[in-house]
A = this chain, B = another copy of it.
Amino acid sequence: PQASLPEPSVIPEQGWHVGHFFYRFRRDQLDAPLSAEVCQQFCAALAPSDELMPERLASYWTSGHEADFGVIVMDPHPGKVNAIHQALLAPGIGRWIEPAWSFTSVSEVSEYVPSVESYRERLIRQGDAPDSPELAAKVSAYERRLPMMNRNRLQPDIPDWPAACFYPMNKSRVPGANWFTEPFSLRNQMMAEHAQSGMAFAGKVSQLISVGVGLDDWEWMVTLWGRNPEYLKEIVYKMRFDEASAKYGEFGPFYVGYRADGREILDHCRMTG
């Protein structure tokens, strides 16, 4: 079968590499604001030239002492994603910046996204008559929507909203609550319920679930973009009661950020003169 294998490559056939990076400014040797040159280098690292610009990049100032700012980056090439991180730590500006946390993942279409056929079956289970024109219309609409939905999962656009929160998660495997020993049908049903909860926040919260399995210390990375930070609190609180989260979710560190370009981050953090 080796003959039919694709050429070795760092670019996934499906999905993009995703990097989340959080940083603190080093204050312990900082006697004065950063020089104009260093500020310039910082801003350039967050707004690279066309050639170095990854497919997606957004920056945020972040709340609390764990981090001063964060960046989310997406690109087919892992080197292009990590280059943003390396630019922020390059000689010059790098001396004044300390990495606080990061997460390495890839975007994907989850196995719980229903195919057209399984979507049809679910509607029937939920009461639609198998031969009804209503069912046919719904299925047909889903079939038309699915490619764009999947593109949004693999290559999501970053909404122009002011707030975002970021956190990694695992599904638990403790005795009595082991996600990975549950049958697919049950996991699928719980994920559908979970997706339903999220739909109540359409227009208020937009999400990206990327996969860290095999790449970083948690299994998934959750990115929530919010029209208002209170929706971030509300959706996470509400979803915590879904069985998929209540019983099986294990959550890592949370970061909340507010959209800002390099100059705004420097200003908020009083790094400018």
Taking CB atoms, residues of chain B closer than 8 Å to A180 are: 240-241, 245-247
Q: A217-B254, A258-B78 are in contact. Are A176 and B176 (CB under 8 A)?
A: yes
Within 8 A of B (CB), among A43-66: 61, 63-66
Which segment, of A94-102, A131-139, A188-196, faces chain B?
A94-102
Contact B64 A230 (CB under 8 A): no
Taking CB atoms, residues of chain B closer than 8 Å to A148 are: none
Asked if A153 is an interface residue, CB under 8 A from chain B, the answer is no
Q: Of residues A104, A214, A216, A241, which shows the largest number of chain B Cβ atoms within 10 Å of its Cβ?
A: A214
Q: Which of B10, B102, B241 contacts A162 (CB 8 A)?
A: B10
Contact B213 A256 (CB under 8 A): no
Asked if A9 is an interface residue, CB under 8 A from chain B, the answer is yes
**Number of residues of chain A lying within 8 A (CB) of chain B:** 102
- Closest CB in chain B relative to A78 CB, distance in Å: 6
- Closest CB in chain B relative to A171 CB, distance in Å: 9
Taking CB atoms, residues of chain B closer than 8 Å to A113 are: none
Contact A82 B97 (CB under 8 A): no
Contact B6 A228 (CB under 8 A): yes
Asked if A178 is an interface residue, CB under 8 A from chain B, the answer is yes
Taking CB atoms, residues of chain B closer than 8 Å to A39 are: none
Asked if A174 is an interface residue, CB under 8 A from chain B, the answer is yes
- Closest CB in chain B relative to A177 CB, distance in Å: 5
Q: Besides the contacts A27-B98, A173-B246, what 8 more A-B pairs have beta carbons closer than 8 Å? A: A9-B227, A12-B228, A13-B230, A25-B89, A61-B79, A63-B78, A63-B82, A82-B268
Tell me the A residues contacting B by CB distance below 8 Å: 1-2, 5-6, 8-15, 17, 19, 21, 25-33, 61, 63-66, 78-79, 81-83, 85-87, 89-92, 94-95, 97-104, 106, 108, 160-163, 165, 173-178, 180-181, 202-204, 211-217, 224, 227-230, 232-237, 240-241, 243, 245-247, 249, 253-254, 256, 258, 268-271
20 CB contacts below 8 A, A to B, read A13-B228, A15-B230, A25-B89, A31-B92, A63-B81, A63-B216, A64-B216, A82-B268, A83-B268, A86-B268, A87-B270, A106-B229, A108-B233, A175-B177, A213-B236, A214-B224, A214-B256, A215-B233, A215-B254, A217-B253
